[in-house]
Amino acid sequence: MDWQTSEDTVPSSPVTEADVRSLLGRPPATGAWRDGDPVGDRRFAAFGAFRTEGGAELPSYRLAYETWGELSPRRDNAVLILHALTGDSHVRGPAGPGHPTTGWWDDIVGPGAPIDTDRWFVIAPNMLGGCQGSTGPSSIASDGYEWASRFPYLTTRDQVAAQVRLADALGIDEWAAVIGGSMGGMHAMEWAIGYPERVARVGILSAPPVNTADQIALNSVQLEAMRIDPRFQGGQYYDAADGDGPHRGLALARRMALLNYRSPTELNQRFQRSWQSGVSPLGHGGRFAVESYLDFHGNRFTRRFDANSYLTLVEAMNSHDIGRDRGGVEEALARVTATALVLGIDSDRLFPVDGQQRIARGIRNTIDDEAVVLVSDFGHDGFLIETPAVGRHLERLLAT
């Protein structure tokens, strides 16, 4: 079985020769979805001018999104699902034309699933600034060239403001639930705090109330790994031939990130000190299995993501502070009127559970009066791997 993580699909065993063969050939300059590529299950909503918190302006933008289920005549059964950093709108469904990976929450969303699409109308957008159909740095600007490094700085609040327009366009005045994990959990909080009258329930999974200095520091080295790749060219790489884009820097950033998404226990138990090739690492040419694992997923990532989008989205995550201009974290959380599920993973070293506990203490109506903490060896990615347990808690939230 394959496990979908917040950032990619990770097999449960060490990388095989077949896995490596799947990456033969030169990687593209960008792994972004581009106009003219197969649309797959995407839908698109186009909007006019958008001004960011920082005062920059996009003359227009679009959001790619996918839906499952049917919107009720009263429009009261809509559930918004918000993806993690390098996820996208493809929450459910197979890989295929237009969709480089399988749905990242197939076990959670669907007919008879915890988020039952026989009852709920589920919408999942690709974030503004992303690279899988929504406007982002790889999109073409009005001058006929990619936005690239000219794309404006976004905050999480900017991205939620863009989603508000999508809700308006779909005629959804109130979400039955807004649910997100990791970066998506940041957006779910912004919905519940900034637009409390539009959110009946909120699910905040493995997300912090603020991005701390430690988390910003971890992000900074990933971003620098891309910037120092000579082929990054200040973000102006879209016309490069395949193989000449900043894939080495992007792959290195991805490998760094994976170390934050998984726990030491899981990596040590899975790989121990085994090596991938038939040659011992004590000799020439041998590689530890964990090194091959990181390399494989770094290289695979470059075939479905864009370096400039990675910069844009990580910097938006760095902006995350629900207390900014609201009197602090607790004052902000006091604005939430939705019934809340706040869930963390005990082994999460990216967003430790003390953050989720603080969120739960500040919200007046959580389903357990405290954060739900799952025991898991899988670290941050546990909210996407431990689907039976996560699903049970989401069912509880939706039953309120």
Q: Which of 348, 376, 377, 381 is catalytic?
A: 348
Measure the CA angle with vertex 105, ends 104 and 108; round to 5°.
Answer: 175
143 is annotated as an active-site residue: no
Per the residue annotation, which of 89, 138, 139, 182 is the catalytic one? Answer: 182
Active site (annotated) includes residue 380: yes
Q: b or e along 51-65 (b: 16 or more beta carbons within 10 Å of the residue's beta carbon)?
A: ebbeeeebeebbbbb
Task: Tell which residue, 154, 199, 210, has the closest CA to residue 172.
Answer: 199
> Residue type for 176, please?
A
Q: How far apart are CA 218 and CA 134, in angstroms?
A: 26
Q: Within the chain, what is the greatest distance between any pair of CA atoms?
A: 68
Cα angle, residue 62 at apex, residues 43 and 306 outer, rounded to 5°: 90
DSSP 146: B
Report whether 340 contacts 196 (CB < 8 A).
no
| Burial status of residue 24 (CB atoms within 10 A of its CB: 0-12, 13-18, 19 or more) | exposed
Identify each DSSP E strand in 138-176 by its residue range. Answer: none
Active-site residue, 348 included: yes
Long-range pairs for 215-218 at CB < 8 Å and ≥24 separation? 215/318, 215/350, 215/351, 216/318, 218/256, 218/260, 218/350
Cβ atoms of residues 309 and 238 within 8 Å? no
Q: Considering 83, 320, 380, 393, which one is annotated as catalytic?
A: 380
Distance CA 366, CA 383 (A): 18
* Angle of helix 247-261 versus helix 307-318 axis, rounded to 10: 40
Residue found under tokens 């971890």: 218
Q: Are 334 and 192 in contact (CB under 8 A)?
A: no
Could you tell me which residues come within 8 angstroms of residue 224 by beta carbon, excluding any fewer than 6 positions away? none
Active site residues: 182, 348, 380
